[in-house]
Structure 1
C-alpha cells in the first residue's frame, strides 16, 4: 500500500509520546553507525536455529505470505496481520476491472496488451478474488521448481488477523488469504481472528497510549491497545500452544543491530537499509550453546521515517515472548529506494514492480531474506552499551523529525 502523508505525521505523534525505555537494568539501544563510518563489529556466533517462522503486518504480511509459500520446506508457520493472498496483486480474475498500464501494477497475469489491474484490487475489492486460480499459480510454480513443493504447506500453521475497523484491507480481503491457505492446510492449523475493533494495526494488551480503533487519525497508528495480545496469540498458534508466558520486559541489551550489506544484491532492487535489528534471548546467546527457534518479522510501509522502525520493534511484544521461549527475532529493514511510490515508502515487493517472478524463491528480496535466515548464526552485529546518553539522543533525534512532520501536516491542512 502507499503510505499516506497523514500516516507519517501521526507516526510522529507516536514518537512524541514514546517513553525513554532505557534504565540501568534493561540496557540501551545505541543508534546504528552511518554507512560510511568504520565501526567495530562482531559475529553473532550462535548455533543455527531449529524451527523458522515468519510474520508481518500490511506489506510485511503480504511478504510473509510469499515467504511462507515459497519456502514451505523450511518455514513452519506465519503470522499474518492484514495480508493478501499469495501473488494476488498481479492476478487477473474474471470480474476484475481493467485500467491503462501504470507503474504501480506494471505486470498483469491474464490482461490484454496495454491494460492492467486496478491497484490493490485484492484489498479493495475482495469479492473478485478467486483463490482456486491462486492455488493453481502456486501449484504451477511448485511444479516448475520456482518455489518449494506446495505439499510442504500441509504441515504449516498460519495465524491471520484483521481488525474490524481496518480501512486499508477491506472487508473480506484477509478472509481470502485464509481461504487460500485452507486449500493446502488442515482447518485446525489455520486461525483467523477478526472480531477485535482495531484499525489497520497490531492489537496489543495492557495500558499503552494507543487506543483501539479510535477515530481518524488515531485509527492509523500501527499498534493499538485492544486488550488482546495479537503477537502472543500468533506465536502460540504457530508453536502449537506450548509457549511459556512472556517476560515482563524484554531486555534492550539483547537487541542488536546487524549489518545488511552482505545481502544487498542490487540495492536499488532489494532496497535494504544498511542496518536491521535482531533480538537474541539471554538463553540463546553464544555462551549458552542452546539451539533456538527463529521468527522473522517484516515491517509494513512507511518505516523509512527516522525512528519509526525502532519504535515498532520496541513497542511490539514479540521480544518479550521470545525471551522466555528461546526464539530469536529477526527484523529486516528496507530503505527508501527505486522509482515507484511503494518502493520509496519502503514497502516490500508484493506488486511485481520488479518483474513477474517477485514471489518466487530467487526474486531479489526473497533471496536476500533467505540468505539472512541461512546466515543468522553468524550475522555481523554492532552495538549495545550501558548508560542513557546515546539512546536518548536517538529518541530525541526521532522526535525532532516527529515535530517537523506535525508542522508539515498543519501547513498542509491549512493550505
Structure 2
C-alpha cells in the first residue's frame, strides 16, 4: 500500500464554529519491516473508535493492571452485547431492543473480577477516561455511549465526556480528510478543534504541542502472528501485520508512554491503508511527548465481514475477558514493547453448553418459569414451555447469567 507523501498545510474548520488548528505538514513515514523491540515504557494507555472503542474498554477493564487509562470514540459499556450479535446491533448500536443497564454490567464486571476473569475493579478507581460522541453520529446511539460514561463513573474512573461536537461516526482529528458530520471511509473527520489533544491532556495530565515538522520517528511493520494465541493472527480475525510508531527520543532510550490505538470497522489497513495512522494526529503528539503508538490490525473472517474487533463474540465467547484471544494478542505486543512477562491469561475453560429439560433447568437455577413458559436466568431469553418434554441448551457467560447455545 503506497504511503501518502504530504498532507494539506491546514484544514478548514467545520462544525460548531470552532477555530482552525495549525496542523503538521508531515506524513506518516513509510513502514519498515521489523519486530517489536523493548523500550523504556513508563505507562500504557489504550484508545479506539467504534469496535476499537469497545475493544479499548475491554482491554482497560480486563487488564486494568496494564492500562492506566482509556480514550474512546463512539462505543458503549463493557460487554453490552452479551455474546449476541442481535443484541450488539439492536441494543448496543441502536436502541430498538432493551440492553443491560450500567449497574448490571458493573455487577457483571465485579463478578468476573472475583472469579479472576478480569483484573480487580479497584484498579479503575481514579483511572483517567476520555469519551467522545458526535451529535451527527447515528451509528452508535448517544444513550449507548452515555451508559459507558455512567459505567466508568460508577466504578470511580475520572471521566471527561465530549458529547457536543457535530461529528459523524469517526475518529476526529485536525488532519482528518472528511467533513465533520460525515460517516464515510476512512472515518477520520475534521471538526475544527483538536479532540486528540484534549484526549491526551486528560489521560496524561498535560501535553506539549504537537510537532509541525516532519516526523522524526520510524513506523515499524511487524508480524502479528508472533503474538496471536496459537500463532495464527488470521484465526482470531487479526491481520498478518501490525504497526508501531516509535519517536527517535524513544529509540534513544528516553522514558516513553505507550498508546495502543484500535481502528474501527471498515478501517483496517487492508482496506483503508495507512489512513488512520496518517490522519489520527497521534504521531505528531508522539514526537513531542515521548509516546510510542501501537496500531494493531484486525481483518475479516467468517462472521466478521467488516473487519471489526470482537466486541460481540464472533470469534470467542471469552472476547471481553483476560482470556479473550484478541486481548491476549494485544497484551503480548504491549509486553514486547515494555519488556517483562505477559500477564498470564485465566485458565477458566470456555463455558460449556448444558442440555436439559426446561423443568430441570429451572431446578438447577439456570432458568426460571413464568406463566407456564421458561426463560434463561440473567439473559431472560425465552426457552419455550416449562415441562419435562421441552429441552434447551444453555451456557453460562458470567455468574448467574445464562444464554442459549
Structure-2-length-normalised TM-score? 0.72
User: Which among 191, 194, 208 is matched to residue 163 of structure 2?
Assistant: 194
Tell whether 2:285 aligns with 1:317. Answer: no
Aligned to 1:65: 57
Alpha-carbon RMSD across the aligned residues, in angstroms, is 2.8
User: Following TM superposition, by how much is the alpha carbon of 1:334 offset from its aligned partner in structure 2, in angstroms?
Assistant: 1.5
Task: Give distance in 2, aligned partners of 1:74 and 1:311.
Answer: 28
Answer 1 or 2: which has greater strand percent. 2
Answer 1 or 2: which has greater helix percent. 1
Aligned to 1:382: none
Task: Give distance in 2, aligned partners of 1:248 and 1:279.
Answer: 17
Residues 237 and 300, structure 2, Cα contact 8 Å, conserved in 1: yes
Aligned to 2:180: 212
Aligned to 1:293: 257
User: Following TM superposition, by how much is the alpha carbon of 1:324 offset from its aligned partner in structure 2, in angstroms?
Assistant: 0.6
Question: Which of the pair has more CA radius of gyration?
Answer: 2
Tell whether 2:124 aligns with 1:139. Answer: no
What secondary structure, in the 3-state scheme, does the structure 2 residue paired with 1:56 have?
Answer: strand
Give structure 2 stretches of 5+ with no counterpart.
8-24, 340-405
Tell whether 2:13 aligns with 1:21. Answer: no
User: Following TM superposition, by how much is the alpha carbon of 1:60 offset from its aligned partner in structure 2, in angstroms?
Assistant: 0.2
User: Following TM superposition, by how much is the alpha carbon of 1:20 offset from its aligned partner in structure 2, in angstroms?
Assistant: 3.0
User: Which among 203, 213, 216 is matched to residue 238 of structure 1?
Assistant: 203
Which aligned pairs between 1:92-131 and structure 2 lie closer than 5 A?
105=85, 117=87, 119-125=89-95, 128-131=99-102
Alpha carbons of 1:306 and 1:365: their partners in 2 closer, same or farther (altered >3 Å)?
A: closer
Tell whether 2:243 aligns with 1:277. Answer: yes
Task: Give distance in 2, aligned partners of 1:209 and 1:375.
Answer: 33
User: Following TM superposition, by how much is the alpha carbon of 1:211 offset from its aligned partner in structure 2, in angstroms?
Assistant: 1.4
Aligned to 1:369: 330
Aligned to 1:167: 138
Task: Give distance in 1, aligned partners of 2:197 and 2:283.
Answer: 10
Alpha carbons of 1:29 and 1:134: their partners in 2 closer, same or farther (altered >3 Å)?
A: same
Task: Give distance in 2, aligned partners of 1:229 and 1:46.
Answer: 31
User: Which among 112, 117, 126 is matched to residue 155 of structure 1?
Assistant: 126
Task: Give distance in 2, aligned partners of 1:195 and 1:26.
Answer: 30
**Larger CA deviation: 197-206 vs 271-280:** 197-206
User: Which among 228, 236, 240 is matched to residue 264 of structure 1?
Assistant: 228
Task: Give distance in 2, aligned partners of 1:118 and 1:335.
Answer: 19
Task: Give distance in 1, aligned partners of 2:179 and 2:241.
Answer: 31
Aligned to 1:400: none
Residues 35 and 220, structure 2, Cα contact 8 Å, conserved in 1: no
User: Following TM superposition, by how much is the alpha carbon of 1:46 offset from its aligned partner in structure 2, in angstroms?
Assistant: 4.0
User: Following TM superposition, by how much is the alpha carbon of 1:372 offset from its aligned partner in structure 2, in angstroms?
Assistant: 0.6
Residues 199 and 220, structure 1, Cα contact 8 Å, conserved in 2: no
Alpha carbons of 1:294 and 1:209: their partners in 2 closer, same or farther (altered >3 Å)?
A: closer
Which aligned pairs between 1:329-408 and structure 2 lie closer than 5 A?
329-337=293-301, 339-340=302-303, 343-377=304-338
Structure-1-length-normalised TM-score? 0.71
Task: Give distance in 2, aligned partners of 1:271 and 1:249.
Answer: 36
Residues 136 and 181, structure 2, Cα contact 8 Å, conserved in 1: yes
Task: Give distance in 2, aligned partners of 1:278 and 1:352.
Answer: 27
User: Following TM superposition, by how much is the alpha carbon of 1:173 offset from its aligned partner in structure 2, in angstroms?
Assistant: 1.4
Tell me how many residue pairs correspond in the alignment. 320
Alpha carbons of 1:282 and 1:305: their partners in 2 closer, same or farther (altered >3 Å)?
A: closer
Aligned to 2:291: 327
Give structure 1 stretches of 5+ with no counterpart.
1-14, 33-40, 92-103, 106-115, 379-415
Give per-residue Cα distances to partners, 1:351-389, cap 9 Å, x unaligned.
0123432111111111111101001257xxxxxxxxxxx
Residues 71 and 361, structure 1, Cα contact 8 Å, conserved in 2: yes
Aligned to 1:387: none
Bigger relative contact order (CA 8 A; separation at least 6): 1
Residues 270 and 368, structure 1, Cα contact 8 Å, conserved in 2: no
Alpha carbons of 1:249 and 1:199: their partners in 2 closer, same or farther (altered >3 Å)?
A: farther
User: Following TM superposition, by how much is the alpha carbon of 1:73 offset from its aligned partner in structure 2, in angstroms?
Assistant: 1.4
User: Following TM superposition, by how much is the alpha carbon of 1:49 offset from its aligned partner in structure 2, in angstroms?
Assistant: 1.2
User: Following TM superposition, by how much is the alpha carbon of 1:45 offset from its aligned partner in structure 2, in angstroms?
Assistant: 3.8
Residues 117 and 322, structure 2, Cα contact 8 Å, conserved in 1: yes
